[in-house]
């Protein structure tokens, strides 16, 4: 649990930081530092393509690794147990 003294100290530091900041930081043009060239859309496309295809690649590697693996005894016992409520031929 956070003590009131610690919370008050953090709030005071945050308040001083907010008072020290001024609006001149927001006036900087963010596009001034962004170098957009013809290759930029292709770079973005390749970055997003890698992010989308990475899970499929991982899935393929895991399937390839475990394709010949036989289930353990615990997994076989769990698959042979019927769902609850079905043991007595329930209605």
Query: pLDDT per residue over 2-23, tens digit each?
Result: 688 888 888 899 888 878 776 6
The residue with greater pLDDT, 90 or 31, is: 31
pTM attached to this predicted model:
0.40
Instruction: Give, in degrees to the nearest 5, the angle at Cα 71 between 63 and 88.
Output: 125
Is the model's pLDDT at 32 over the cut of 80? Answer: no
Our count of domains for the chain comes to 1
In a domain, 69, yes or no: yes
62 or 91, which is more confident: 62
43 part of a folded domain = yes
Render pLDDT for 50-79 as a digit per residue (tens, 0 to 9): 999 999 999 999 999 988 877 777 766 766
Confirm whether 55 is domain-assigned: yes
**Which domain range does residue 53 map to?**
34-73
Assigned domain for 39 exists: yes
How far apart CA 61 and CA 10 sit, in angstroms, is 48
For residue 65, being part of any structural domain is answered with yes
57 is a domain residue = yes
pLDDT for residue 48 is more than 80: yes
17: phi then psi, degrees, rounded to nearest 5: -65, -40
Distances (CA, A) of 39 to 31, 33, 34, 35, 46: 17, 16, 13, 10, 11
CA gap 47, 10 in Å, rounded: 39
Q: Is residue 11 part of a domain?
A: no
Please indicate, yes or no, if residue 82 is contained in any of the structural domains. Answer: no
């Amino acid at each position: 649990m956070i003590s009131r003294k610690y919370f008050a100290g953090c709030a005071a530091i945050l308040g001083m930081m907010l008072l020290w900041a001024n609006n001149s930081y927001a006036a900087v043009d963010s596009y001034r530092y962004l170098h957009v060239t013809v290759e930029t859309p292709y770079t973005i496309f390749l970055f997003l393509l890698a992010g989308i295809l990475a899970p499929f690649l991982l899935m393929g590697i895991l399937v390839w690794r475990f394709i010949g693996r036989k289930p353990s005894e615990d997994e076989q016992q769990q698959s042979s147990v019927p769902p609850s409520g079905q043991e007595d031929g329930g209605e």
